[in-house]
């Protein structure tokens, strides 16, 4: 079965093998050396002033970001399940909230953020997804962050990059906290989250808030290549292997390859009459809205060995989402679009003629076709 869900994503063999080594104790020079190298490679990936690894899923890092960086009112963008979650976290911690609610295919705009800030001067942090995984939507976070900082440079910008870090280059100039999670673009099992912080964010954190998710405690420890509580040793070892692979492949190559794959997939599916759901698609996944989304998913899973994700809440049965994160071989992606074309033929919607795989190949390998002209 090909796992093509936008999280969890497949774990490469070299990473699985690295994690199969005998258990290490976390308070040893051996593990500290692993932690140190992992931190160094994370600095390259995040390009932020500080990086922290937490033993939690992505939601733990979202909670840590909100509690440590928002002390009054959180402005959050709710254009999907994950945006909505920022609001729930703030409410659970008795913070005040202001929300910008959008349909799941519609990105927030800098203008909307600016007018919300002007109307709500108590807002001291903004939380938004870079790639909102509920609908495969890309928000213009860099533009929003810049506009917000022009109004108030003390506002903290919390960017959930759980399906964006490792997918594309992110301009972190105006971002104070960039969040990643292990089981998406980092190709690891779930259970590790990472926060990249700006120096302004570190200042605001001060003594930190909370206990387990107190970021001041973690900053102090992690600068010494250790953690406040037991490190998620196996996942850190796996992460080091992933980051080494990123380094060998080259981050620019990874971003470029992911972008080409996402574009080729979208064009292949549009060529067989399907519709791309989000108005501004993220590169992390390809999201198709279709009245027969459930039927298509069932056929490709049961008959063709391809597992893609469906939708949640009001989009349940109405969309399907194809992962683009991590290292993916082109022949796997070609099989995915081909399987979808076969499903449409089986549903009587079009005659099978190989259009999807041909379009994918033409787009993805266009540079090779150019060369042979
Ligand atoms: C998966 C995901 C999360 C939540 O992560 P968990 O690991 O399930 O806690 C948050 N934000 C986005 C954008 C995601 O895709």
pLDDT single digits (tens) 282-294? 999 999 999 999 9
pLDDT, position 369:
87
Kindly report the protein residue whose alpha carbon is nearest to atom 5 of ligand 1.
58
Under 8 Å CB-to-CB from 37, ≥6 apart: which residues? 240
Distance CA 19, CA 189 (A): 10
Q: Is 251-372 a domain of CATH 3.40.630.30? A: no
Atom of ligand 1 nearest to the CA of 80: 13
User: Each residue of 136-191: pLDDT tens digit?
Assistant: 999 999 999 999 999 999 999 999 999 999 999 999 999 999 999 999 999 999 99
Under CATH, what is the fold of the domain 12-249?
3.40.640
Atom of ligand 1 nearest to the CA of 7: 1
Atom of ligand 1 nearest to the CA of 131: 13
At residue 123, does pLDDT exceed 70?
yes
Distance CA 224, CA 24 (A): 18
At residue 373, does pLDDT exceed 90?
no
Cβ < 6 A, ligand 1 pocket: 7, 57-59, 82, 129, 133, 160, 162-163, 181, 184, 190
Atom of ligand 1 nearest to the CA of 193: 7
Long-range residue pairs from 198-203, CB within 8 A, at least 24 positions apart, any chain = 198/48, 198/49, 198/50, 198/172, 199/49, 199/50, 200/154, 200/156, 200/176, 201/50, 201/69, 201/156, 201/176, 201/177, 202/49, 202/50
Across the range 314-329, mean pLDDT stands at: 98
Best of 63, 77, 85, 162 for a ligand 1 pocket test (most atoms within 8 Å of beta carbon): 162
Other residues' Cβ atoms within 10 Å of the Cβ of residue 358: 16
| Pairing label, strands 96-101, 73-78 | parallel
CA angle 144, 145, 149 (to 5 degrees): 120
Domain ranges of the chain: 12-249, 251-372
Average pLDDT, the chain: 97
Best of 60, 78, 82, 158 for a ligand 1 pocket test (most atoms within 8 Å of beta carbon): 82
């Amino acid at each position: 079965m090909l796992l093509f869900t936008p999280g969890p994503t497949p774990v490469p063999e070299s990473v699985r093998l690295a994690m199969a080594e005998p258990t290490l104790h976390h308070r040893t020079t051996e593990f500290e050396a692993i932690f140190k190298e992992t931190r160094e490679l994370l600095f390259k990936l995040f390009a932020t002033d500080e990086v922290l690894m937490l033993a939690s899923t992505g939601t733990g890092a979202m909670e840590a970001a909100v509690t440590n960086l928002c002390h009054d009112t959180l402005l959050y963008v709710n254009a999907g399940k994950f945006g909505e979650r920022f609001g729930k976290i703030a409410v659970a911690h008795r913070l005040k909230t202001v929300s910008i609610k959008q349909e799941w295919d519609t990105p927030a705009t800098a203008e909307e953020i600016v007018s919300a800030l002007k109307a709500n001067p108590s807002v001291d942090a903004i939380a938004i997804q870079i790639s909102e995984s509920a609908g495969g939507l890309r928000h213009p976070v860099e533009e929003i962050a810049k506009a917000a900082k022009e109004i108030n440079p003390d506002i903290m910008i919390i960017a959930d990059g759980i399906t964006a870090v490792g997918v594309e280059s992110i301009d972190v100039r105006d971002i104070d906290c960039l969040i990643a999670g292990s089981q998406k673009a980092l190709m690891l099992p779930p259970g590790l989250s990472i926060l990249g912080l700006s120096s302004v964010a570190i200042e605001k954190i001060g003594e930190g808030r909370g206990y387990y998710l107190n970021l001041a405690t973690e900053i102090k420890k992690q600068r010494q290549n250790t953690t406040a509580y037991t490190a998620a040793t196996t996942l850190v070892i796996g992460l080091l292997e992933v980051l080494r692979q990123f380094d060998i492949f080259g981050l620019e190559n990874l971003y470029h390859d992911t972008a080409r794959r996402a574009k080729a997939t979208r064009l292949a599916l549009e060529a067989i009459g399907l519709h791309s759901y989000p108005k501004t698609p993220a590169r992390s996944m390809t999201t198709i809205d279709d009245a027969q989304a459930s039927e298509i998913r069932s056929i490709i899973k049961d008959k063709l060995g391809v597992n893609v994700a469906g939708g949640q809440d009001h989009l349940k049965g109405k969309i399907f989402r194809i992962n683009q994160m991590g290292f993916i071989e082109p022949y796997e992606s070609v099989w995915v679009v081909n399987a979808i074309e076969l499903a449409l033929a089986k549903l009587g919607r079009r005659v099978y003629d190989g259009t999807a795989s041909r379009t994918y190949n033409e787009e993805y390998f266009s540079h090779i076709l150019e060369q042979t002209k």
